Structure 1
Amino acid sequence: MELGRRDRSLDPHRTKRYVTISAMPALARPVHSKDLRLGAEAGCQRTYSHYKNFIISNATKTGQGTCPPDPRQLFLRSIAICHKIWYLYPIMKIKTFLFYSCFLSYFSLLLYLLFFSGYRQSVEGEIAYNLVPFRTIGAYFRSFDGFTLTDPFIGNIVAFLPFGFFLPILWRMVDSVYKAVLWAFFLSLSVEGSQFLFRVGAFDVDDLLLNTLGGGLGFGLFWIVRKTWLIFKAKW
């Protein structure tokens, strides 16, 4: 039965503002499962609009008429409000808050390690620089005795890997590996220049290369995680 059609067996003066029992099955049709799997915006917005349009067109206006509001109408109104509040706004805000909190925590730790750690204090006042590409990297591999997270080669890559991962999540304009590499390059250049200016480290072009590589790998990790999630969601 179409929405809004009135049951003529009832009092016509009382059915102008009320949802009848015969109209309820049209609203009770289930929302397609594909809409529910879409996540936050599209599916939930359609579900909310479905209930909202029905309620606006058929609901009883409180205070008008001689009968109290239909309990079914109040129940459907509650469902619509729950869809709006639970699925749209808080989840998006919570996700954004968590991502920004993680990024700020990472960036604060990065600044501490690069400028205020015990090692930086031990080399404070020294002036050193290297403008020859791959000189430091070559010296590292000539004396190589195993990888560790604190050695210059792995440490410089790992330090900027989260930066490349968070960039496309927080700023949608970073939608390619080239942009992520460019941002990582400028951040690394700023760090190396600041370390040399404040004499808490050496300006090393190899550090610049490794940091930029770390940003690019971080974006690649984001792309892999995103593709895996989309495949999983499509199968689910």
Structure 2
Amino acid sequence: MKKSLKLFIVCYILAIVGMCFLPQTFYPQLNSIETPGIQHFGRITAILTPFNTLVHFGKIPSLWDVFVVILQNITNIFLLFPLVLAILLLRRNAVKLSKVVLMTFCMSLSIELTQVILDLLFEFDRVFEIDDLMTNTLGGVIAYQTYRILRK
């Protein structure tokens, strides 16, 4: 079981690298969607407004764009969920929620900062989003609750 979980973790980290670090031009169908609230700082693009989708909901131009933006938020909730759950399942001793929140937040922040660095070095057209930090961390909390249920 441990070997399988470790293999899953390695494979999932590779999947995260592909999803989060490939240039946005790799996903051409999403290039036309401009999320309201985007700010540009030279080559760095960021959305620094917490709950940006809710704050700018009325500015999203079409129903399709609304669907894609909401789907991106849901996807971000579950981006780190499998990885955090697998890590928790590998641990033998009890883990506190506060440590899981910190671990997941740090993973998410690492992803966002790496995207900024890639934008600076190679113009990957990635966006640093405060909401990604919150939704990824929420996914870690859900993984923790799932872990607690599975342990019982």
The two structures share one fold, judged by TM-score above 0.5? yes
Question: Contact 1:164–1:217 at 8 Å: present in 2 too?
Answer: no
Query: Which residue is equivalent to 1:169?
Result: 89
Distance 2:145 2:45 in 1: 33
Equivalent position of 1:51 in the other structure: none
- Whole-Å Cα distance in 2 between the matches of residues 142 and 222 of structure 1? 38
**Which has the larger share of strand?**
2
SS in 2 for 1:128: strand
Structure 2 stretches of 5 or more lacking a match? 32-41
For residue 191 of structure 1, report the CA deviation from its aligned partner: 0.5
**Bigger relative contact order, structure 1 or 2 (CA pairs below 8 A, ≥6 apart):** 2
TM-score, normalised to structure 1's length?
A: 0.48
Distance 1:182 1:219 in 2: 12
Shift of 1:131: 2.2
How has the CA–CA distance of structure 1 residues 183 and 137 changed in structure 2, closer, same or farther, with 3 Å as cutoff?
A: farther
Aligned to 2:49, the other structure's residue is in SS state coil
Q: Which residue of 2 aligns with 1:18?
A: none
State the Cα distance separating 1:114 from its structure 2 match.
0.5
Gaps of 5+ in 1: 1-94, 228-236
Q: Distance between the aligned counterparts of 1:161 and 1:141, measured in 2?
A: 30
Return the letter of the residue paired with 1:178: S
- Residues 168 and 198 of structure 1, relative CA distance in 2, 3 Å threshold: same
In terms of Rg, which structure is larger?
Answer: 1
Measure the CA separation in 1 of the matches of 2:67 and 2:150: 25
In 1, Cα distance between equivalents of 2:111 and 2:92 = 24
Per-residue CA deviations over 1:85-140 (Å, capped at 9, x if unaligned) read xxxxxxxxxx11111011111111111110126239x87x9521122211244335
State the number of aligned residues. Answer: 131
Partner of 1:97: 3
In the alignment, residue 107 of structure 1 is paired with which amino acid?
Answer: I
